[in-house]
C-alpha cells in the first residue's frame, strides 16, 4: 500500500485502493448482465473486469464508507433492484451514504482536470469541505448541500418529450458520475442502476424538491411524485443518448463477442436484468429500441 494523504480526512497514512462507485454495485451489474462483463462507457471496445478505482482513502475512512454502503446495499439496493420492492425505512446511514457518494463523485470528476470558472470552483470547494466535515462527524447537518435520492423503475411512458429509446436501460443498468453546471446551479450527479442521486450546492428550487430529499435522521422511501429541477430532463436525455452513441460506436469484433456470449448461454441472457431492461424499452419504443449502426 502506498503512503500518501487521505483525500477525506487529510491524514498521512497508507492509502488503500478503493472504488468510486461502491464495489457491490459493479458486482451486481456484472452478475445480472447478459454476458457477465461490464463495459466502461469510456472504453467501449474493452471488456472491463471492474469499475473505476484509485488510491485515495485511508483505512479508517474506507471503513467509515463501507459501513454505510452495507446498510444501503442490504436494506435498499438489493431489495429494490432484485426483488422489485419499492418501500424501505432508513436511518441516518442513508444521508451519510448519499453524502459519501456525492463527495466521491465530486472528487473523481474534479480529478479529471476540466477547466471551470472561479465561481464554480469556489462553489465546489465549499461543497467538498461541507460534505467532508459531515462525513467525518465534525458537523451534524448538511445545510444547503441537500442529498436527493430518486428510486427509478422501468417505465412505459413519460410526460417529457423526446425520450431516447434506450431510456430504461439507462435508468435500470447504468452507473455514471458527473457534475452538472448551469448559470445558477452546480449539482453533483451520481447514477446507480435503479437510482439517481443529486447532491445540491444550494438550489433555488430546493423547496419544490422535498419528496426526494433524504432526511438526516430517519425516513421512508416510497413511491411518490418526484420533482425534477428545471432543465434536468434535457440533461438526462442527453446523457442517455450519448450512451447509445457510445454503443453504436462499438466495433464489429466487440459486437460479435456479445452475440457469441448470448448464443453460448441463451438462458443466462433471457434471465438477465439487461434483457429485462431492454424489454421495457422495446415495450415503450418498439423497434427503435434496437441500436442502429452509426450514421443511419
Ligand atoms: Zn482518511
Give the tens place of pLDDT for each residue, 194-216.
999 999 999 999 999 999 999 99
Where do runs of H (alpha helix) occur along the chain? 23-31, 59-72, 78-83, 92-110, 118-135, 167-173, 232-248, 252-264, 266-271, 273-285
| 12-21, 33-42, 126-135, 154-163, range with greatest mean pLDDT | 126-135
Ligand 1 centroid – CA 61 distance (Å):
4
Tell me if 75 is assigned to some domain: yes
Ligand 1 centroid – CA 125 distance (Å):
18
Ligand 1 centroid – CA 172 distance (Å):
32
Look up residue 80 and give its three cell numbers: 429494490
pLDDT average, residue stretch 11-21: 91
What mean pLDDT is reported for the chain? Answer: 88
Given a contact cutoff of 8 angstroms between Cβ atoms, the answer to whether 40 and 50 are in contact is no
Closest of 94, 131, 145 to residue 7, by C-alpha: 131
Domain that holds residue 191: 65-289
Tell me if 294 is assigned to some domain: no
Q: What is the pLDDT of residues 241-289, one digit of tens each?
A: 887 777 677 778 777 877 787 778 888 888 888 888 888 888 888 888 8
Q: How many domains does the chain have?
A: 1
Ligand 1 centroid – CA 10 distance (Å):
6
Ligand 1 centroid – CA 9 distance (Å):
4
pLDDT band at 105; cut points 50, 70, 90: very high
pLDDT of residue 294: 46
Tell me if 41 is assigned to some domain: no
Ligand 1 centroid – CA 7 distance (Å):
7
Tell me if 201 is assigned to some domain: yes
pLDDT of residue 293: 47
Ligand 1 centroid – CA 205 distance (Å):
34
* 48: pLDDT strictly greater than 70: no
Ligand 1 centroid – CA 148 distance (Å):
25
Closest of 58, 40, 59 to residue 48, by C-alpha: 40
Ligand 1 centroid – CA 131 distance (Å):
14
Ligand 1 centroid – CA 142 distance (Å):
20
Distance CA 126, CA 272 (A): 42
Given a contact cutoff of 8 angstroms between Cβ atoms, the answer to whether 84 and 112 are in contact is no
pLDDT average, residue stretch 98-102: 98
Ligand 1 centroid – CA 136 distance (Å):
9
Look up residue 197 and give its three cell numbers: 442521486
pLDDT of residue 281: 87
Q: What is the pLDDT of residues 107-139, one digit of tens each?
A: 999 988 788 888 899 999 999 999 999 999 999
Tell me if 58 is assigned to some domain: no
pLDDT of residue 76: 98
Tell me if 23 is assigned to some domain: no
Ligand 1 centroid – CA 22 distance (Å):
17
Tell me if 91 is assigned to some domain: yes
H or E stretch including 23? Answer: helix 23-31
Given a contact cutoff of 8 angstroms between Cβ atoms, the answer to whether 195 and 102 are in contact is no
Surrounding residues of ion ligand 1, Cβ less than 5 A:
6, 8-9, 58, 61
Ligand 1 centroid – CA 180 distance (Å):
27
pLDDT of residue 38: 64
Tell me if 6 is assigned to some domain: no
Amino acid at each position: 500500500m502506498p503512503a500518501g494523504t487521505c483525500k477525506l480526512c487529510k491524514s498521512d497514512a497508507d492509502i488503500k485502493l478503493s472504488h468510486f462507485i461502491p464495489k457491490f454495485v459493479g458486482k451486481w451489474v456484472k452478475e445480472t448482465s447478459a454476458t457477465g462483463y461490464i463495459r466502461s462507457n469510456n472504453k467501449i471496445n474493452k471488456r472491463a473486469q471492474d469499475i473505476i478505482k484509485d488510491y485515495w482513502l485511508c483505512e479508517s475512512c474506507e471503513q467509515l464508507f463501507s459501513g454505510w454502503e452495507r446498510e444501503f446495499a442490504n436494506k435498499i439496493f438489493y431489495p429494490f433492484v432484485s426483488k422489485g420492492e419499492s418501500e424501505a425505512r432508513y436511518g441516518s446511514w442513508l444521508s451519510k451514504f448519499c453524502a459519501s457518494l456525492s463527495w466521491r463523485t465530486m472528487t473523481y470528476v474534479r480529478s479529471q482536470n476540466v477547466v471551470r470558472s472561479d465561481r464554480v470552483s469556489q462553489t465546489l470547494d465549499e461543497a467538498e469541505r461541507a460534505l467532508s466535515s459531515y462525513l467525518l462527524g465534525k458537523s451534524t447537518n448538511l445545510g444547503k448541500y441537500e442529498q436527493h435520492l430518486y428510486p427509478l423503475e422501468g417505465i412505459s411512458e413519460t410526460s417529457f418529450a423526446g425520450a431516447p429509446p434506450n431510456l430504461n436501460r439507462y435508468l435500470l443498468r447504468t452507473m455514471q458520475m458527473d457534475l452538472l453546471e448551469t448559470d445558477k446551479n452546480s449539482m453533483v450527479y451520481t447514477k446507480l442502476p435503479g437510482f439517481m442521486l443529486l447532491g445540491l450546492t444550494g438550489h433555488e428550487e430546493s423547496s419544490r424538491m422535498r419528496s426526494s430529499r433524504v432526511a438526516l435522521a430517519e425516513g421512508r422511501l416510497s413511491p411518490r411524485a418526484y420533482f425534477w429541477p428545471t432543465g434536468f430532463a434535457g440533461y438526462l436525455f442527453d446523457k442517455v443518448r450519448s450512451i447509445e452513441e457510445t454503443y453504436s460506436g462499438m466495433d464489429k469484433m466487440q459486437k460479435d463477442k456479445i452475440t457469441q456470449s448470448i448464443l453460448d448461454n441463451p438462458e443466462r441472457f433471457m434471465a438477465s436484468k439487461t434483457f429485462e431492461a431492454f424489454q421495457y424499452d422495446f415495450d415503450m419504443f418498439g423497434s427503435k429500441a434496437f441500436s442502429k449502426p452509426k450514421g443511419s
